[in-house]
A and B are shown apart, each in its own frame.
Chain A
Amino acid sequence: MESLFKSVGKGLLYLLVLPFFLLVISGYAIAGLIVFIYLFFKSIVLFFMGRSLDIELPEDKKAKQIIQKAIPASTNPVIKQDGAPLRDTPDDIVVVSSKAFIPYDEPSTVEEACFGLDIKSEKLSEPSKEKMISELSTDDTKPQSINATPNEEKKIVLETHDLSQDDIPLGKYSPKKTHFDDLDDDEDEKQNKKEGGVDIHFKDF
């Protein structure tokens, strides 16, 4: 009964407010039409200037730059490089360390799911990736032949296994690039080169 009275009271209130609401909505409709015409001509002018009426304002670009700079410093980012939030079950999760990005796959064991990815075993199981790393890191090393013997392969794996993460070129392992990456790439690279430091991992916990 109380809810019925509430509904009746609200109905009465809305009936009283309705004329004012209609007045406001018609006022906004007229103002909107004027602004629409203004923005239409503005977009035409911008089109001939080689630009477009973009929803992204200078403040947004500045904010994106700040967020983008903040993401690599974060060990557990909650947003992607383009500023969009990470979903609970993303298609391609990327584990971000302070120096390098290591692609993450579905955990195959319980230990892996609980304590994280075992990079050592991962590297041993995927020699092709290691080859790529060794090729990129050492300039004087010649590309290995496909028909290499098992001993040679083991040698290569052992060589690359000793490779520190600092030697991995950043550009090759960054996540999918967006148009926001073009804003301040050079500055970021310079900053990354300047910064030394030691990587601390708890993957063998």
Chain B
Amino acid sequence: MLPILLKLTESDKRLLIAFLLIFILIFVIVGAIGYLIVRVMKWQGKRLDSCVSDVVYSRVITDKKTFSKYAHKKNWIIFYKAARVPVIIMLVSGIILVIRNLVYHDFSYDVFNKVDGFSTVLFLWNFDGMFILDPLTLSFTFNPPQLVHSPKFEFTAWGSYLFVPGIAVGGLWYLWCVQSLISRTLRIKKLSESIFDKNLDKFNQNEQLMNSLNAGQTPLNSEVKPAEENKSLDK
């Protein structure tokens, strides 16, 4: 029944393969971006090592809890110092917008409007009706998007020209700092587990005991020495 319903033409098959390839390409791109983010986060987390290495080498901190507390405290201070510049950029952008609104007495100003907003310097397209897929006939039509607006400099939009890039740069920079903060937090968790780790995976007490006996040594806490033991046997 199903094969009869799914009698696809050659063009339909090609279309399906094209869609499948597009999906695979999207997943590959997302995977590559994700891999890049993971690598960047590892690199960001490594910065913590140089900040906390001294106290570990000199054994000022010798337990997991103190290390975690100390490292988190330091992590927040690093974040504060790193985030000062983006926060100042965003604050200055906000102040510029407020000044613009005060100058023009317009507090309902949309920074992205097409008349005196940031969109005046952007290309704008109309994407309506770009893909039309008819489920009954399985026909697919593609219409290219129509250009609605071309870039044009408007002097009255100076507020948005300063505000939007400022907020974008400051915001991305701040997000970068937040990502570093998360990376360092993860690194703290990992280090606090590894530095003070008392791992017994490769330790075998019986094996050590047998090795010491084979080597003719007295095992720890034994009262009878091997030489004395032999003497007692001779008697």
Contact = CB atoms under 8 A, between A and B. Distances in A.
Chain B contact residues: helix, strand, loop or mixed: helix
Contacts of A63: 54-55, 57-58, 60
Contacts of A40: 80
Given A35-B76, A39-B76, A59-B70, A67 B57 contact: yes
Interface in B3-56: 24, 26-35, 51, 54-55
Contacts of A70: 58
A43 B81 CA distance: 11
B87 A36 contact: yes
Contacts of A4: 24, 28
Interface stretch (B110-118, B172-180, B194-202, B213-221): B172-180
- By CB atoms of chain A within 10 A, which of B31, B76, B77, B181 has the most? B31
B74 A55 contact: yes
A48 to B, nearest CB: 18
Contact of A62 (B30, B60, B76, B175): B60
Contacts of A11: 26-32, 34
Contacts, number: 97
Nearest to B27: A11
B79 interface: yes
A13 B77 CA distance: 33
A10 B33 CA distance: 10
Given A35-B79, A55-B81, A14 B33 contact: yes
Interface stretch (A22-30, A127-135, A168-176): A22-30
A55 B77 contact: yes
Contacts of B26: 11
B79 to A, nearest CB: 6
Chain A contact residues: helix, strand, loop or mixed: helix
A28 B70 contact: no
Nearest to B73: A57
A79 to B, nearest CB: 9
Nearest to A24: B182
Contacts of A39: 76-77, 80
Question: Which bucket holds chain A's interface residue count?
Answer: 20 to 34
A140 B181 CA distance: 63
Interface in A20-71: 24-25, 28-29, 32, 35-36, 39-40, 43, 53, 55, 57, 59-60, 62-64, 66-67, 70
A32 B77 contact: no
Interface string B69-103: 01001101111110100010000000000000000
B181 A15 contact: no
Contact of B54 (A9, A35, A43, A60): A60
A41 B177 CA distance: 20
Closest 8 CB pairs of A and B: A11-B27, A11-B31, A14-B34, A10-B31, A11-B30, A63-B54, A66-B58, A63-B58
Given A7-B28, A39-B76, A43-B80, 12 more contacts: A7-B31, A11-B28, A11-B29, A12-B31, A14-B33, A24-B182, A25-B179, A32-B83, A35-B76, A63-B57, A63-B60, A66-B60
